Amino acid sequence: MNRELSLKVDSQLSFSVNVQVKEQLKWLIGIGLIEPGDMLPAANQLADSLGINRNTVNLVYTQLRDEGVLNIQKGRGTQVVSGPIVAKLRERRQPMHELLGRTIEEARAQGIALEEFFLASLAYTLLSTSKPQEGRHIALVECREHDHFFYSGEIARITGEAVHTVFLEDLRSGREAVAESIGRASLVVATLNHADEIKSLLAPFNIPVEVIGATLDPAGLLQLARLEAGTRVGFVCLGKEGGQWMAMRVEEAGIAQIVPSVLESRQQAVSADALASADLIYASAAVYDQLLKDIPEKVRLYPMQLEKSSERMLEELARAGGAHQ
């Protein structure tokens, strides 16, 4: 992306500068002015153009990476990813764009100051519920090396609710860290990978913990089973632990004719030597798009899906949440 971003920040607003920058970027991506695959300006370049601290931009980029919107690679830059999370963002923002356009036109026609109008709208939203009941806050707890984007996306898809990802590594430093990271969560979803540890860490907080698991899609499993004996297959996730989980699921399925290896991924990138060592690469959804650009002839999407029991549990949560609203 060669054009300069026309972002603005206003220190007088009640919203912090990093929230202003983050939401403007999400808006431009959502309405298609920034496309998947576009490179964003370097943090220092964007910071200079806005007159803000570089660390603020770095924080925004990191938050958007953790939300599954951006991919950050050292030495290569920051890129908008192509995937279900960005697709959902665009799906939600397009109708908002049209509605807000009409609303702003009407407000201006009536001489209403836009900042005052939208702050008043926020207050109205907070006051408009029939009873002082907050929506349910779902937190997914998972380690950084597993495909947390897959799990959070599936939880959001099935329940229709926003999901906040909390990393297990951040919880291990003590009770204060747990309290700060979990925040206002009324429900925690953990994966089978670390369920016992997560339940132990959250025990003092009396927060319900539901456990979900993933398995292999039968069609993708059949493709793996049909590979020739001796085929060197590399498994790639966000970290070594995630890749090991992928390889173990294939082994448990009885596929023994391949030669598996776990390829380490750093910032969603794998070394050229590691890629060359495998005949085929099976990548989790979190790293698939990037590898598809680098080695389209070798990469395959790892056939992961939620277990049926986990889907049913999340569907029940969705129905229970709807009944209480």
Q: Are residues 208 and 240 in the same domain?
A: no
CA triple 86-24-170, angle to 5 deg: 65
DSSP tally for the chain: helices H, then strands E? 14, 13
DSSP type of residue 1: -
Strands 214-216 and 304-306: antiparallel
Let me know whether 95 and 116 are in one domain.
Answer: yes
Torsion of CA 215, 218, 223, 229, to 10 degrees: 70
Same domain, 157 and 245: no
Q: In whole angstroms, give the CA distance from residue 44 to residue 41.
A: 8
Residue 266 DSSP one-character state? B
CA distance 165 to 68: 11
In this structure, is residue 64 part of a structural domain?
yes
Name the amino acid, one letter, at 48.
Answer: D
Per-residue confidence (pLDDT) for residue 277, from 0 to 100: 87
Domain membership flag for residue 156: yes
Helix (H) or strand (E) holding 310: helix 308-323
pLDDT, residue 132, reads 41
pLDDT of amino acid 8: 65
Mean pLDDT by 10 residues, the chain (325 residues): 62 68 91 92 91 89 88 88 87 88 90 86 71 65 91 90 87 77 82 92 87 91 92 92 93 93 73 84 88 88 92 89 52
**192 close to 211: Cβ distance less than 8 angstroms:** yes
pLDDT at 67: 84
What is the number of domains present in the chain?
A: 3
Angle between helices 308-323 and 148-159 (to 10 degrees): 50
The residue whose two tokens read 């776990």 is 262
Q: List the domain range (segments joined by +) for residue 296.
A: 216-304
- Are 172 and 315 in a shared domain? yes
14 and 65 fall within a common domain: yes
The domain boundary, picked from 64, 99, 128, lies at 128
Residues 235 and 122 in one domain: no
User: What pLDDT, on the 0 to 100 scale, is given for residue 315?
Assistant: 93
pLDDT of residue 225: 92
189 and 316 part of one domain: yes
Quick one: 69 and 152 in the same domain?
A: no
Give residue 123's pLDDT. 82
* CA 35 remoteness from chain centre: 17
Same domain, 118 and 2: yes
CATH code of the domain in which 258 resides: 3.40.50
Task: Provide the token pair at 102.
Answer: 């009409």
- Are 281 and 145 members of one domain? no
- Rounded Cα distance between 178 and 137, Å, is 15
